[in-house]
Structure 1
Amino acid sequence: MAQQAYMTETDNGGSGPERRGARFRRLTDRLLAGWRGDKRIWRRGLVVATLAVLVALIMLLHAQIPNRFGNLGSLIETFLPWLGLAVPVLLVLALVRKSATALVAVLLASVVWLNLFGGLLSDKAAGGGDLTVATHNVNADNSDPSGTARDVAASGADVVALEELTETAVPTYEKALASTYKYHSVQGTVGLWSKYPLTGVRPVDIKLGWTRAMRATVTTPAGQVAVYVAHLPSVRVKVEAGFTAHQRDKSADALGEAIADEKLTRVVLLGDLNGTMNDRSLNAVTAQMRSTQGAAGSGFGFSWPASFPMARIDQIMVKGIEPLSSWTLPRTGSDHLPVAARVNVDTSS
């Protein structure tokens, strides 16, 4: 009896960590009770395992998915991060089926997703910087252009690019931004506002037949920067043609050529590219520039649609410049969110 009492007292005592460890072991024992000795755990859940492997392969080999069928590859790449939502669903199904095979496959899908996008989950923003830039597709149907202009100016950006400007709305934006930005230029449906002098302003031909891109030299206190503003054509989903992006891709190639021919070594690209950094159709641009969101942001920085952002199609990209932080701004009267970034133009220090 004394020995039994001693054992009971010992079992009920112990430190806090020991008691928590014992509870965890009892919980895992109960969870695994139905798995031990069951040889079928490797034969069950093959459908779930197949789905998990398929998700992993799509993420891993997305660049190999052909675009000739309705631009399917680019469509998948635009929303590629969202494939990660399949992982917890498949994990639950694997546990319900008590399938070790499915669990291994789900683990594989998890590793692939983390390898591709895990770095975006951390906060890479740093302090400092000598130039703040912002870009916003203001939406041609914006019912409050003056309010939108004030919201973007309130970000503190030194240089602001606006896309989808209409002829009737331009005077409203010019008036609302005049007190903050001394210099500006509007070329077609895109415009650039700056606190610093603009020179070398010209439209950029992106093979559309009208102007939706421009280039200017911004003379900042840290040196000259070539700033490009672009609004690539929209990508449409059509019943008869699927996900069509031929015109956007042609314009992206032309924009990439213009940036490659730029004489200044420090370049910033601001605009709505109607594509994400994963979209291989934007390679002419993305291959030579860095995304500020990928290099110095926190999270995915989705910018469209503003009501429930699902993709980062509004981009700030740099070449010869160090990105330090990147973020999205609060919603305006547009269907896009504005995006901003802080960079170092003078990288010598």
Structure 2
Amino acid sequence: MRKSLRHLIAGVSGAAIIASGVAITATPASADAAFSSDAVAFVDAFLPPSGSSNIDFSVKLTGAYATNGQPDKKVWVHFTKDDTASSITWVNGTVTQPSAVTTVPSPNEVVVKGVLPVSTNDVASDKWRLELALTETSATTAPTSGWTKATDFTVAAATRVTNFDIDPSTVTLKSGTSVDVGIRAIVEKHGNEVFKDARVESDETSDYYSLHTGFEADDKTYYDFVAMDSSTATGRWQAKLTFTRGTKTYEFVKSFNVTKGSSGKAKSKVTFAVSPTKVKKGKSVKMYGTVYRGYTSWGPWKKKILKLYFKKKGTKTWKFAGYIGANNSGKFTKTVKPKYDGYWRVGAFATSVTLGKWSAYKYVDVR
């Protein structure tokens, strides 16, 4: 078992010495400033799934200010990504130095914050080590000795998305029909990431389709699809999966193209909602929305008969679940008792003068 806090070596600037987790007070050689015996605190030490990022840390500095309120010492940090290597490589971090104060606080201490630069190419492990040092405030380069506080820490991997595919990779839309576009990915989660958002969106217009933020039965396979028809904007599109971890946000993107021919039919669209989205087995949910049609402006698609479909979680097949009739305002509603977790959607199918359209689908959690 690796120790979370290494033995500390007193440097030339003077500091507390830590041995086997017990603080032993040492008299500083030339200054009062010293690092607290508390371990360095990390907000969340993990590698970014792509590109570069920072690991945030903080440490308490005691005796931080001289009697005139000026910082007593300058803080330096460096770290290694493998402290078991025969030849250790140290990388400098960045510290936000204490600012001058008009009144010295009591107790005379301040929390110093800093960052350690990392990238997706680094290796997640428990072999990382940080060291801190104090110098005179006038120093302009990091010291070559006198590192007075050290701590081992573990850096975790972050969520990664692999095998990100769009099927078909180029979407060709045909008049009067829709094309199911599948979005598939393998999501490797590491830690407390939150699956925040999923969508398919046009790069050139405001057109987009919302996707669900759930996984298949294995809890790592992501699958969803949208039904695109000739009312869909052409050009470059992208599927985007968004994750957050703490205050940081990461987006995984897969691009594809949408093309189509011309059509003289009116467009249609369907809004769809479910309430509630979490329900006990045997209880009912309300499914409702509005269906529209139009050439240049939207109006209600009066008395339109829509079809309701259901796809059980963990499967890929949509099954017909009944009809829903719209009124003269294009509004429709239906009460359903779901038996299984899964996805629901409604379809307004094409006629000789109007294009068909699928609604976005909604997930219902049956408990």
Greater C-alpha Rg? 2
Instruction: Verify same fold: TM over 0.5.
Output: no
* TM-score tier after normalising by the smaller chain length: under 0.3
Q: Normalising by the residue count of structure 2, what TM-score does the alignment of the two structures yield?
A: 0.21
Bigger relative contact order (CA 8 A; separation at least 6)? 1
